[in-house]
Amino acid sequence: MLKVQYDTHKPDKKLNNRLNILASHFRSNFRQTPSFFVRVPGRVNLIGEHIDYCGYSVCPMAIEHDILVAISKSDEDELQLINIDDKYPNYEHKGLRKIKNLRLDENHTGPSWHKYFLCGVKGALEVIPEEHIPKGLLTVVWGNIPPNAGLSSSSALVSAALLATVHICQYKMSKEDMATVSAKAETYIGTQGGGMDQAIAFLGKAGSAKLIKFNPLCAFDVALPKNAVFVIAHSLVDHNKASNSYFNTRVLECRFAAQIIAKKNNIDWCNVPKLIDVQKCLNKTLEEMTAIVMANLKEEHYTLEEICQILETSLDELKVISNVLHYRTQKFKLKQRALHVFQEAARVAMFQEICELEDMDESTQLCQLGNLMTKSHQSLKNLYECSHPRIDTLVTKAIESGAFGARLTGAGWGGFVIAITTAEKVNDFMESLKSAFYYNNEELRNTDFSNTIFKTEPKEGAGIIMSS
């Protein structure tokens, strides 16, 4: 029934069933068939956490779980948005073009789901010429990516809204441009992400993890050891990134760290917003940057006043550059955050190199990849302070259950852990982890395991699926 246009894979039976249900919801709500469907996957990051917004490369892969959107044009000047999952209320916006001028970040308890969709539509309307834009849009959404858990359900939703809008306007954009526009669009929700999630959503490829480089954005295949299997497991602690300032505080801490290091080394700090910029200005290796951090940043917290003094600037000026209005009373840890970033960037490079060592025997390869993942987790826990006690327990139990290594994945403060094991061991590993972590805990014992712990392999990125 369905013909895939851009995807290289055909929808399997499972996806076909979901598309049929989506189409039937569309018909019963709007009394017409959708023009086409969009599928955008979630992702799991193998290594390279909290470094994309500092300019450093990361190593994610797209997963099977996705957001689907069915769409058609409307004769009314509106956006109609239905979600099959009734925990997400339907939404209607009168005046499609007005979405271009909406503010979407004004929320204190966390954004409603429809705002992520609006981010994607707004991003699209900003780049598509007026004459391509239809009067209105009818849309139905259905996703199965566990939300608020580091598998990037938010970016899949923003990117799906963007792709659906771009395609219905018959506007042509490259995947790289689409990823860039989507990354900017998601910042409208209020979080200052670095672009990893949208990049892998569009550039993901079945069978291969990706090394994503920024500025300019490009993606290279990372061939994983043949026998490696990645298992992801939910700590069952949810964390919505846009409902508090933890994430943006880390982005700001990295910026302040870069600017202070620049200032102390007689570089114009105004032009050095990212840690990669200061590394480039100083022309040092990542290893050398560790010594520079130790020499230039102190262990204790910094206040904003102190940061102003060091940079010889005023709070007002810093506010303009760093948008720190909400952070007036906050204290910032800079040394620990910068150390994590430089060392994690080095671990990504080592991870990729190990994957490329064809003459290394596979069990050594797996041990070394696992060690890097576990070191990444320790750094996220101790230096970046974005873990959670339940995630730490899950990582420990994963390693005790036989994984070569494990780490939190995504922004953290809750969400999923990723562990590396082998095809032979994976079933025993998963049973052992279930006993050690979930069955052992009264609160978690009755979990539905289908979306809580599963094997994952690299899947295709975003695509359009035509309805017949």
Helix (H) or strand (E) holding 340: helix 335-356
Structure tokens belonging to residue 84:
């099959």
Select from ligand ADP, Mg ion, ligand NG1, none the partner in contact with residue 467, using the beta carbon and a kind-dependent cut-off of 5 to 8 Å. none
241 makes contact with ligand ADP (CB under 6 A): yes
Do the Cβ atoms of 173 and 120 come closer than 8 Å?
A: no
Sheet holding 3-4, edge to edge: 3-4, 463-466, 36-47, 59-74, 136-143, 78-83, 91-94
Q: Which CB atom, from 72 or from 152, has the smaller least distance to ligand NG1?
A: 152
Nearer to ligand ADP among residue 116 and residue 342 (C-beta) = 116
Quick one: which of 7, 345, 18, 357 has its CA closest to 202?
7
Does 240 participate in binding ligand ADP (rule CB under 6 A)? yes
What is the DSSP pairing of strand 228-234 with strand 416-422?
A: antiparallel
CB of 372 within 8 A of CB of 405? yes
Q: Within positions 114 to 173, which residues make up the interface with ligand ADP, using CB under 6 A?
A: 116, 141, 143, 145, 147-154, 157
Query: Which residue is catalytic, options 52, 66, 75, 197?
Result: 197
Report phi then psi at 419, rounded to 5: -125, 150
Tell me: does residue 351 bind ligand ADP (CB under 6 A): no
Residue spans of alpha helices (H) in 45-87: none
Helix axes 286-296, 335-356, angle to 10 degrees: 170
Q: Which residue's Cβ lies closest to ligand ADP?
A: 143
Smallest gap, in angstroms, from Cβ of residue 185 to Mg ion? Answer: 13
Q: Which of residues 154-173 bind Mg ion (CB under 5 A)?
A: 154
Phi–psi pair at 463, nearest 5 degrees: -155, 165
Q: Shortest approach of ligand ADP to residue 421 CB, angstroms?
A: 23
- Position closest to ligand NG1 via CB: 193
Q: Which residue is it, tokens 């050594």?
A: 364
Q: In whole angstroms, what is the distance from residue 28 CA to residue 407 CA? A: 44
* CB closer to ligand ADP out of 15 and 289: 15
Q: How far is the CB of 152 from Mg ion (least distance, A)?
A: 5
Q: Which residue has the tokens 């730490």?
A: 392
In the complex, which residues of this chain contact ligand NG1 (CB under 6 A)? 49-50, 52-53, 150, 152, 154-155, 186, 191, 193-194, 196-197, 241, 410-411
Whether 238 is catalytic is no
Q: Out of 83, 313, 343, 452, point to the residue binding ligand ADP (CB under 6 A).
A: 83
Is the Cβ of residue 74 or residue 154 nearer to Mg ion in the bound state?
Answer: 154
User: What residue ranges bind ligand ADP (CB under 6 A)?
Assistant: 67, 83, 85, 88, 113, 116, 141, 143, 145, 147-154, 157, 240-242, 410
Supply the residues annotated as catalytic: 197
User: What residue ranges bind Mg ion (CB under 5 A)?
Assistant: 154
